[in-house]
């Protein structure tokens, strides 16, 4: 059986990649460098968060033969954004996933209750100033420190013109991360993105948003095969991967399961999570009569009527 596919022209061993999850050194001392090693060992790609606790360069050095992409927020200071993109280019990253669903941070009650801040020994390693590195140690009052960080640093006015600016800034493939509507997908394609990541930001931005698997078919239909479509959110089993591909995704990205693996045993734990998903996906393919990912089709899916409302 052949589980391999490609993402943005780069071959991977299976249609399961690692999505951007911030501050991974809170889960394990090696953080994002451990994730990079696991992905390299498994022959798949890793999306590095702009808010990583390992730098763009450290991740590239930890897994020099690995496939890396950069997740990007658009900062109020466009020179900060530009610098991140250029550093990714120099480090050999193969694409930019620009997040389009975070003009403000969603109200994360646990973060507010805990007055979330990074532990004092950690910082966002892609930034030199203490404010941008989220390591100033200042008092955020009764709020989540991360929510304050986003309000102060991230540009809430981001629109399609900024995506055009980014398109002119780099020759790397650009993927719009956070699309949940067909009209937005069509506009992104018109502007010249190379891919759409159907994502609801782990369902932590807006209560009531649909599951990504539910909106995936309309996004796939909207782009008419002009760009690759990916999915994240809720992928826990190999059958989840199969369903996403059957509905038109080129690959899926995982977040929380990877963090669980890191907590368990660093790069070996992360690799074990990826291996489990790979073997579950292999079995799901075999039991549905698919020898290659190209044989996975919508005929495998039966949909049931949804009896509750979503935004």
Task: Count CB neighbours of 187 within 10 A.
Answer: 16
Catalytic residue, candidates 28, 68, 121, 201: 201
Q: Which of 207, 210, 252, 227 is nearest to 17 (CA)?
A: 252
Distances (CA, A) of 179 to 67, 218, 232: 23, 11, 11
Structure-derived torsion over alpha carbons of residues 107, 111, 112, 113, reported in degrees to the nearest 10: 130
- Rounded to whole angstroms, the Cα distance separating 157 from 195 reads 22
Helix (H) or strand (E) holding 57: helix 56-62
Q: Which of 51, 1, 60, 63 is nearest to 271 (CA)?
A: 63
28 annotated active-site:
no
Structural tokens at position 101 = 């669903």
* 224 backbone dihedrals φ, ψ, rounded to 5°: 55, 35
Structural tokens at position 143 = 């709020």
Residues 6+ apart with CB under 8 A from 16: 44, 235, 241, 251, 252, 254, 274, 277, 278, 281
The alpha carbon of 237 is separated from its chain's Cα centroid by a whole number of angstroms, namely 18
Pair type for strands 10-12 and 5-7: antiparallel
Q: Please report the beta strands in the chain, taking only residues with DSSP state E, as ranges in sequence order.
A: 5-7, 10-12, 16-18, 45-48, 67-72, 96-99, 174-179, 195-198, 228-232, 251-254
Can you give the length of the chain in residues?
A: 311
Annotated active-site positions, please?
201
């Amino acid at each position: 059986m052949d589980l391999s596919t490609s993402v943005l022209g780069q071959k991977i061993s299976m249609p399961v990649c690692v999505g951007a999850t911030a501050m991974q050194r809170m889960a394990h001392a090696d953080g994002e460098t451990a994730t990079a090693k696991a992905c390299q060992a498994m022959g798949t790609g890793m999306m590095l968060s702009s808010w990583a606790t390992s730098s763009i360069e450290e991740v590239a050095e930890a897994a020099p033969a690995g496939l890396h992409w950069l997740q990007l927020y658009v900062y109020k200071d466009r020179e900060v954004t530009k610098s991140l993109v250029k550093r990714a280019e120099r480090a050999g990253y193969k694409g930019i996933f620009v997040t389009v669903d975070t003009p403000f941070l969603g109200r994360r009650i646990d973060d507010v209750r805990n007055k979330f801040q990074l532990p004092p020994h950690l910082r966002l390693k892609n930034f030199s100033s203490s404010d941008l590195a989220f390591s100033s140690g200042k008092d955020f009052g009764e709020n989540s420190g991360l929510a304050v960080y986003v309000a102060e640093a991230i540009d809430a006015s981001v629109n399609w013109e900024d995506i055009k600016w980014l398109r002119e800034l780099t020759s790397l493939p650009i993927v719009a991360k956070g699309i949940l509507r067909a009209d937005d997908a069509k506009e992104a394609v018109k502007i010249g993105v190379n891919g759409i990541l159907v994502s609801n930001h782990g369902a932590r931005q807006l209560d009531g948003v649909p599951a990504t698997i539910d909106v995936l078919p309309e996004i796939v239909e909207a782009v008419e095969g002009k760009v690759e479509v990916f999915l994240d959110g809720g992928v826990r089993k190999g059958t989840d991967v199969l369903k996403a591909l059957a509905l038109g995704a080129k690959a899926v990205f995982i977040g929380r399961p990877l963090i669980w693996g890191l907590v368990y045993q660093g790069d070996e734990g992360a690799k074990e999570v990826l291996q489990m998903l790979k073997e579950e996906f292999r079995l799901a393919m075999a039991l549905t009569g698919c020898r290659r990912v190209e044989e996975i089709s919508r005929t495998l899916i039966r949909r049931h009527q949804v009896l509750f409302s979503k935004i």
